[in-house]
Amino acid sequence: MPETATQATGGANAAELSFDDFKKIVIDDYRVGYESRQASLLGRREVLTGKAKFGIFGDGKEVAQLAMAKAFKPGDWRAGYYRDQTFMFATGMSNLKEFFAQLYANPDLEKDPASAGRQMNCHYATRYANPDGSWVNQAEQMNCSADISTTGGHMPRLLGLAYASKLYRENPDLTELKQFSVNGNEVAFGTIGNGSTSEGLFFETFNAAGVLQVPIAISVWDDAYAISVPASLQTTKEDISEVLKGFQREPGSNGYEIFKVRGWDYVALCETYARAIDLCRTGHVPVLIHVTEMTQPQGHSTSGSHERYKSKDRLSWEAEHDCLLQMRQWIINSAMATAEEIDELEAAAKRTVRDAQREAWEDLAGEIQTEVRQAVKIINGLAVTATPVAELQEIAAQLEQYLDPGRKEVIAAARKALRLTVSDKQAQRRPLVQWLQQQAVDNDERFNSKLFTDTPESPLNTKAVAPEYNEDSRMMDGRELLNVCFDIHFGRDPRLVAFGEDVGAIGDVNQGFAGLQAKYGIQRVTDTGIREATIIGQGMGLAMRGLKPIAEIQYLDYLLYAITVLSDDLASLSYRTRGGQKAPLIIRTRGHRLEGIWHSGSPLGVILNTLRGLHICVPRDMTQAAGLYNTLLKGDEPAIMIECLNGYRLKEKLPTNVADFTIPLGKAEIIQEGNDITIISYGSTLRIVMEAVQELQVMGIDAEVIDPQTLYPFDRDELCVSSLKKTNKLLIIDEDIQGGSSAYILQKVLEQQKGYYYLDAEPHTLCAREHRPPYGSDGDYFCKPSVDDVIETVYTMMHEANPGKYPALY
């Protein structure tokens, strides 16, 4: 191997070290790498014996990750994928015991601080949100954004983490936020497998980072396969760095510095990472490190064997070029240690890993065994007095006989015992009932908590402040009202930034940000390319690093291009870290009624079903939108704001407190009182409903109209069921297709709010047709609810209830 200098831990160069000091660093690196390998081997065995559900590991990638760890500093960020365990061990962001705790899905946050057992193994995260919602000092710790299983899905978030460093460096108004950055000197490290570089999210992120010139360092772990698919079927020229040569920097242009290094060459790896990351950190030059000739000794995961798809020659080559084997041989050849000394180190490493595994298993098994004993004692106690004695004793005996029971087996046994004794006296069953109730509370916290932050910082805690008006309050376009609101917020808070397609120079296509780039600068109000997925990722990364981003998706229909980032990453962030990470991103978009297939969509069913973990705001006008923005900007949870596309030029009165009044999330509003029927709708359709209501009054029908204002959360005060108690009839009007958000609202009102008990007529929904709406006003009329549709649907419902008073229209 080449005799080149390496960067030692702590930033000292090997040329400045004594040979003994350098040797200690190298030997310690090898120890960490070897322990990581043993964790992979032992982890696989634990899955195959049934103690763990599934395993995926980083074996074969150890040496490159040791080199990468040397360049990683406090304040830096990682957004990687599930092969990075050695890197996490080498930086100290994780350890062996936590590795096994996650493998066993231990829901104890102290044992698995990354996810509290919610993610499969090798999905890492550090905690930067305190239980009270406050931020930790990110500049003083090493930071790992929470992993996801989609192997390229983290790339858009990586862009945002790097872009934050650019803003912290270039915007002097942010210099006081030292807990998030030190002059923007942080690097965002990304890792990805060679197969996943075929994904659109990789290319979109790669291009955007080159345009923005952000300190992003992307490492491609190239072992020539993506599960069973070889590089020849994945990548043009079978070489991603060759494909990306056009991104190489040239004098007078932006772009990347591209490095290529073999994954088993320890010295070259250390040198490459030292050079690449120094350039990235100091010059904010994005870099690509293509690490080739890697191996994957155990195959992709515990779900199969790589012997099925790799040739004997390939397997032989992998055995010979195993990175740890190569590093071991180099250490011996360089006289840093003898073969016997390395053997001793390896034996000790195996013991260390085995001890960590046993401790992690005993931590979880011990807790569950305690619960087993409790359940057995209660069930056997119940058998003394209950009728089905033998059956109860058998349940208890079976529970005791489980070799490695989970909580599922314990609770299932107790619930079965409860069912068997349903006819016995309640006093006899009370201990079992009480124990199960407490277990339900505990397990709900273990497995179902923290979809949102649920801290004092949550926007759900914001109280209502009414808009105020005076004699001088002006009438203006809705777009102008929003512009005034945004202007005030930008003037108050230097953390606030907005970006998206056409947001900067022209102030967005509907002028909500008009003039704000000229006033506040291009760092704060920014145009982007046409790249919806990375617009969301850019915002997510900024929000994770303490900024307040508004990421604009031009039209609601185009949100689908970012749905994987929104659903897989942003919406699940708080849940999958059990509140340890948050990203209070506001996504601004506009939709509902306009013209044409791709400019008039209302896919709320898709949004509601895929984005639990985001608040979904559907204001009927721009005043309501301003109030909801004011609420969201006070909080620390992500949300989507869907403005009415046909409402920007409608006149509204400007509140004197336009940037201060607040609308609580989940606060429904009665916008028309009535006694005959309850109509629930939202957004643009409410204008149609209100027009219909006027004619219905002439026809003798008194409709009550409710605007939920947010669909998630929905009507927290249960205003809808209160209305139903009065009217006993329900109509939901929705621009989404049948079974979309109307079905969601029905479930909320009829089941959750118990509205079913107050109906004296069949509930109805009035929705859009199942195809996308065609172009033109006629297309809108015949495909989405119209004033005539609303009037006739309500009248028909009243006819069904009282045909004598309301004779049939047709």
Cα separation of 434 and 787, whole Å? 54
* CA 524 remoteness from chain centre: 24
Query: Which amino acid appears at position 421 of this protein?
Result: T
Q: Tell which phi-psi region holds residue 785, choosing left (phi > 0), alpha (psi between -120 and 50) or beta.
A: beta
Q: Cβ(281)–Cβ(189) under 8 Å?
A: no
Q: Quote the crossing angle between the two packed helices 426-448 and 407-420, to the nearest 10°.
A: 150
- The string over 574-586, giving b where at least 16 C-beta atoms fall within 10 Å of a residue's C-beta and e elsewhere, is bbbbbbbbbbbbb
DSSP annotation string for 48-60: HTTSSS-----TT
Distances 742 to 140, 675, 733, 746 between C-alpha atoms, Å:
48, 22, 7, 6
Query: What element of type H or E holds 540?
Result: helix 532-544
Task: Give the number of C-alpha atoms closer than 13 A to the C-alpha of residue 258, restricted to the C-beta side.
Answer: 18
Q: Where are the beta strands (DSSP E) in 528-676?
A: 548-552, 586-591, 615-617, 639-644, 651-653, 669-672
Residue 284 CA: distances (Å) to CA of 255, 475, 539: 11, 47, 19
Annotated catalytic, 599? Answer: yes
Q: What is the DSSP letter of 662?
A: B
| C-alpha span between 280 and 217 (Å, rounded) | 7
Note whether 484 and 654 are within 8 A (CB).
Answer: yes
Give the span between the Cα atoms of 669 and 702, in whole angstroms. Answer: 17
**Contact between residue 397 and residue 383 where contact means Cβ atoms under 8 Å apart:** no
Query: Which candidate in 599, 615, 771, 799 is catalytic?
Result: 599
Dist. CA 506–CA 480, nearest whole Å:
14
Q: Which residues contact 91 (CB under 8 A, 6 or more apart)?
A: 69, 72, 142
Cα 534 from Cα 561, distance rounded (Å): 10
Q: Assess contact for 750 and 756: CB atoms under 8 A.
A: yes
* Cβ–Cβ under 8 Å, residues 611 and 647: no
Please name the amino acid found at residue 262. R
Tokens 């109805």 identify what position? 764
Residues serving a catalytic function are 599
